[in-house]
Amino acid sequence: MRSVGIELQRLIDTWIEVSNTEREGERNRGINVLKSRGVGHSNQVREFLITSGGIEIRDVYTGERGVLMGSARRSQEARERPEHQFERDRVALAEGRRNRGAQSERVTR
């Protein structure tokens, strides 16, 4: 039976590993290339998301504790974002709330 496994390895050009990781109560999906015959490839784990538009593979984002995914990544990105970006985000959020409030007001009339 072992020889079948070795023969199968010779037929496969690229091995991809898909994983689920859990950190701080959140489960995220990761993908990485284990081996790709004759092709240079990254050995880093990348986060992937399943969206309504299909699968989205995120760029690698590392922090002090390794690869960051999900809410840990978003939190770190927010900490690194310039202060003026926080203000723009706050204004955009407030405008969105006002717009939703105006829409719901029209619906209830």
pLDDT in tens, 17-69: 999 988 878 899 999 988 888 888 888 888 899 999 999 998 888 777 778 88
Which tokens in the block code for residue 50?
Answer: 């399943």
pTM of the full structure: 0.53
Where in the sequence is the domain holding 45, given as residue range(s)? 2-108
Q: What is the pLDDT of residue 105?
A: 53
Q: What is the pLDDT of residue 98?
A: 78
1 has a pLDDT exceeding 80? no
- Average predicted confidence (pLDDT) for the chain: 78
Q: Which residue has 């496994």 as its token pair?
A: 5
Q: Which residue has 């790709």 as its token pair?
A: 36
Which tokens in the block code for residue 9?
Answer: 């390895």
- The number of distinct structural domains making up the chain is 1
Which tokens in the block code for residue 51?
Answer: 């969206």
Strand partners, 15: 35
